[in-house]
Amino acid sequence: MTKKPDNLQGTLDLLILKTLERGRQHGYAIAVHIERCSGDFLRVEEGSLYPALHRMEQSGWIRAEWALTGNSRRARFYSITPAGRTHLAEIEAHWSRLTDAVARVLRFA
């Protein structure tokens, strides 16, 4: 079997970019959105979220800026870039192919 890119890391990128497609958000809001949308099934811990955000910023898929939250706390707000939108389309297509392939195996196993 050939080694494919890390699907777990790719999944986190997908979830973050899809969340940011809705608009600019700070890290905690991203994590809460993912948790709520997944019916509390997915929990993104700080130790995974912030390194991913930093890596994605370095890759040019998101940008970050300091601003105040609704309760006047200073936080970094993240937004998706045009390159991030392109990457999101690519990983959404990959995710679709991956889940279709897994579903086929599960049906015929």
Q: Give 58-91 pLDDT, tens digit per residue.
A: 999 999 999 999 899 999 999 999 999 999 999 9
User: What's the pLDDT at 45?
Assistant: 93
Range of the domain at 99: 9-108
The reply to whether 1 falls in a domain is: no
pTM over 0.85: yes
- DSSP per residue over the chain, as a string? -PPPP-HHHHHHHHHHHHHHTT--EEHHHHHHHHHHHTTT-----HHHHHHHHHHHHHTTSEEEEEEE-TTS-EEEEEEE-HHHHHHHHHHHHHHHHHHHHHHHHHHH-
The reply to whether 61 falls in a domain is: yes
**Confidence check: pLDDT of 6 > 80:** no
Count structural domains, the chain. 1
The reply to whether 3 falls in a domain is: no
Query: What's the CATH number where 64 sits?
Result: 1.10.10.10
Which residues lie across from 80 on neighbouring strands?
A: 62
User: What's the pLDDT at 10?
Assistant: 77
- In this predicted structure, which of 14-18, 35-39, 105-109 has the lowest mean pLDDT? 105-109
The reply to whether 73 falls in a domain is: yes
Indicate the average pLDDT of the chain: 91
